[in-house]
Amino acid sequence: MRETDFVSGFARGLKVIEAFGETTRRLSISDVAKSTGLDRATARRCLLTLSELGYADYDGKFFALTPKILRLGHAYLSATPLPHIVQPFLDRLSEEVHQSASASVLDGTEVVYIARASQKRVMSINLMPGSRLPAYCASMGRVLLAAMPEDEALSLLRQTNLKSFTPRTLTDPGQLMEELARVRAQGYAVIDQELELGLCSIAVPLENDRGRVIAALNIGAPAASVPGSEMAARYLDPLKGIARMLKPLLRP
Amino acid sequence: MRETDFVSGFARGLKVIEAFGETTRRLSISDVAKSTGLDRATARRCLLTLSELGYADYDGKFFALTPKILRLGHAYLSATPLPHIVQPFLDRLSEEVHQSASASVLDGTEVVYIARASQKRVMSINLMPGSRLPAYCASMGRVLLAAMPEDEALSLLRQTNLKSFTPRTLTDPGQLMEELARVRAQGYAVIDQELELGLCSIAVPLENDRGRVIAALNIGAPAASVPGSEMAARYLDPLKGIARMLKPLLRP
DNA sequence: GACATTTGTTCATATATCGCACATTCTCGG
DNA sequence: CCGAGAATGTGCGATATATGAACAAATGTC
């Protein structure tokens, strides 16, 4: 790609949108300039543009994103076939096993939920399509990392901030790589309260009809009712079954 | 705002992202140019920029958005307090009445779901945070339109493509305005299979602590099990109760 | 209340982008 | 296999944008 085929004004604007997050819903011009590394004048122009287009509100001091911004992500969820194909299978599975079932793909070091059928909530955080979790300590993340070449997986782990969410979280890259090898060999991953105490999950890879892993499916359950050691016995077959049924449906 | 405070390259790029939707997940340069009205060269530069940044894939012919694009909308959902505050209430309500419960806000002529607790699926389409429905024929839309000044509501209706989803859909602006008056007077809206045959829903406004309507809450149910005429008797009190409990929690 | 610091705004200019027109490459139907 | 039509790629002048410094306003500190 040539230098002139890159619209840096657009790239800067996207950076500004991403500056909004978790703890930072209202940002001043300087806040944005600082967190994006853009010049204050440039950040201001991007923010005023967002506001002019209705993607942000401006009270003269702080900018905040408006629901219109959801159009951007929605373009993906509604346009991509995978979420639509997977959803009814998740619904059925979730009802059958009385636990939440989800599908996700990898984006960098994170797992992104693209579809979900939830039962009574067990996690403290509320997962929905678009939600993200660090790949290294999520069952679907382990499966997706295990599906890639070892050096790429290792490189992603090195880019990750490997923190301990619970005393059981694996954070050592060496140990994680060993675990990935095990996951690759056995064809599924179980997470036993590594992300949140009281929560277990199991995930399997979802292959398309050419055999490429394109997503992961999982079931999450409260550790109190289903200990980690039982996850596979209970849920591996249903998950594998769905992955098998979906496979021929996933052409591109 | 001055002319020079507007980054048109950014605005053009956002337009390109929105060009992707429903039926159009893979778009060529010309497709995008046509549907956005941008020059081909400009559309191409925006698409290549998206691809360079990892927001889109390019196979040399077609562009398709990647899950990374979900970061943009997620910035809103995770940064805005309302969805987080409302979610646990919806979870409880949904479980209590064994139906799906949702919260939404208005974006132009559409209702945007910002939180949802779903039971067994009854609708043909799968609603989730970020999903959109036309306001004029959705229960939450009626409530939100009823909460605004009449002339603004009418102006929004005039901008809307008022089509009949079912034989029962109201599409006449005059009739709709009458219905909005009724909704305003009674404090809730019931939709009886106007959006989809077999689906009824009831919605109430959600006010913040200053009395401004900032969102709507609803319950949807299969018409077979709950006829439209019974929606209010069964679900109005629980909905009103939640709106009352939430009110003091909604400061800004 | 005055000083220091941060934040927002404006401006001139160097630089990058836009849109057009033209060149090239695809794509199919014959 | 050819050729017409469509889609894509490219060079260039006109135009719009980014930059960084200077200024103004607000905020915080002593």
Q: Which residue has the tokens 């956002």?
A: B14
The predicted structure's pLDDT at residue A251: 77
- Give me the sheet containing B213-222, strands edge to edge: B132-134, B110-117, B100-107, B213-222, B199-207, B189-192
Of all nucleotides in the shown strands, which has a C1' nearest the CA of B58? Answer: D8
Does any strand C atom come closer than 7 Å to the Cβ of B3? no
Q: Give A82-114 pLDDT, tens digit per residue.
A: 988 998 899 889 889 989 999 999 999 999 999
Instruction: Write out pLDDT tens, residues A10-59.
Output: 999 999 999 887 677 888 898 889 888 888 889 999 999 999 899 999 98
Whether A80-249 and A3-70 are alike in CATH topology: the answer is no
Which residue of chain B is at minimal alpha-carbon distance from A56?
Answer: B76
Q: Which residue from A120, A136, A135, A138 is spatially nearest to A225, judged by alpha carbons?
A: A120
Contact predicate B231/B200, CB 8 Å: yes
Identify the band that residue A4 occupies on the pLDDT scale cut at 50, 70 and 90. Answer: confident
Distance B3 CA to C5 C1' (A): 31
Cα–Cα distance, B143 to B203 (Å, whole number): 7
Residues of chain B with pLDDT under 50: none
pLDDT value for A22: 67
Within 8 A of A22 by CB-CB distance, chain B residues are 78-79
Closest-CA distance, A32 to chain B, in angstroms, reads: 14
CB B28 within 7 Å, strand D? yes
Query: Residue A2 CB closer than 7 angstroms to strand D?
Result: yes
More confident residue, B75 or A249: A249
Q: pLDDT of A131-176, one tens digit each?
A: 899 999 999 999 999 999 999 999 999 999 999 999 999 999 999 9
∠ Cα A11 A13 A14 (to 5°)? 65
User: 10 Å Cβ neighbour count for B240?
Assistant: 15
CA–CA dist B209, B218 (Å, integer): 20
Could you report the per-residue pLDDT of A174-191, keeping only the tens digit for each? Answer: 999 999 999 999 999 999
- How sure is the predictor about A118, in pLDDT bands with cuts at 50, 70 and 90? confident
**Integer angstrom CA distances of residue A31 from A55, A60, A94, B178:** 18, 14, 42, 47
What is residue B190's predicted lDDT score, i.e. its pLDDT?
97
State whether the beta carbon of A185 lies below 7 angstroms from any atom of strand D: no
CA distances from A132 to A167, A188, B33, B67 (A): 21, 20, 32, 11
* B142 CB contact with strand D at below 7 Å: no
- List the single best residue of A58, A111, A126, A156 to mutate versus B (max B Cβ within 10 A): A126
Contact between residue B109 and residue B77 where contact means Cβ atoms under 8 Å apart: no
Asked if strand C comes closer than 7 Å to A1 Cβ, the answer is: no
H helix runs in chain A, sequence order: 8-19, 29-36, 40-53, 70-79, 81-97, 139-146, 150-159, 173-186, 228-246
Residue-wise DSSP of B5-36: G--HHHHHHHHHHHH-BTTBSSB-HHHHHHHH
3-state secondary structure of A216: strand
B243 with B204: CB under 8 angstroms?
Answer: yes
pLDDT value for A103? 96
- Written as one string, the DSSP assignment of A34-65 is HHH---HHHHHHHHHHHHHHTSEEE-SS-EEE
Choose among B79, B81, B105: nearest Cβ to A20.
Answer: B79
In the three-class reduction of DSSP (H, G, I as helix; E, B as strand; rest coil), residue A222 is classed as: strand
* Span CA (B110) to C1' (C9), Å: 36
Query: Are B126 and A84 within 8 A, CB to CB?
Result: yes
Is the C-beta atom of B3 closer than 7 angstroms to strand D?
yes
- Strand pairing report for A199-207 and A56-58: unpaired
Establish whether the CB of B70 is closer than 7 Å to any nucleic acid atom in strand C. no
Cβ pair A84:B114 closer than 8 A: no
Q: Is A187 left (phi over 0), alpha (psi -120 to 50) or beta?
A: left
Q: Which residues of A touch B114 (CB under 8 A)?
A: 67
Within A 9-28, residues with CB less than 7 Å from strand C: 9, 28
CATH of B80-249, one of 3.40.920.10, 3.40.50.620, 3.30.450.40, 3.40.190.10: 3.30.450.40
Interface touch B21/A79, C-beta < 8 Å:
yes
Name chain A contacts of B131, Cβ cutoff 8 Å. Answer: 74
Distance of alpha carbon A83 from alpha carbon A216, whole angstroms? 12
**C-beta atoms of A11 and B114 within 8 A:** no
Residue B64 phi/psi, 5-degree rounding, is: -140, 140
CB nearest to B73's CB, from A6, A74, A105: A74
Q: What is the pLDDT of residues A195-207, one digit of tens each?
A: 999 999 999 999 9
Nearest Cβ partner of A21 from B6, B25, B79? Answer: B79
Nearest-CA distance B144 → chain A (Å):
14
What percentage of chain A reaches a pLDDT higher than 70?
96
Inspect the interface and report whether the beta carbons of A7 and B13 lie closer than 8 Å.
yes
Confidence (pTM): 0.88
Nearest neighbour of B73 by CB, restricted to A11, A69, A81: A69
Q: What are phi and psi of A187, to 5 degrees?
A: 85, 10
Nucleotides of C under 7 A from a protein CB: 6-11, 16-21, 27
Q: Domain locations in chain B?
A: 3-70, 80-249
ipTM tops 0.85: yes
Mean pLDDT of A61-75: 89
Helix (H, G, I), strand (E, B) or coil at A177: helix
Q: Do B53 and A107 touch (CB under 8 A)?
A: no
- Please determine, looking at this structure, whether the domain spanning A3-70 carries the CATH number 1.10.150.80: no
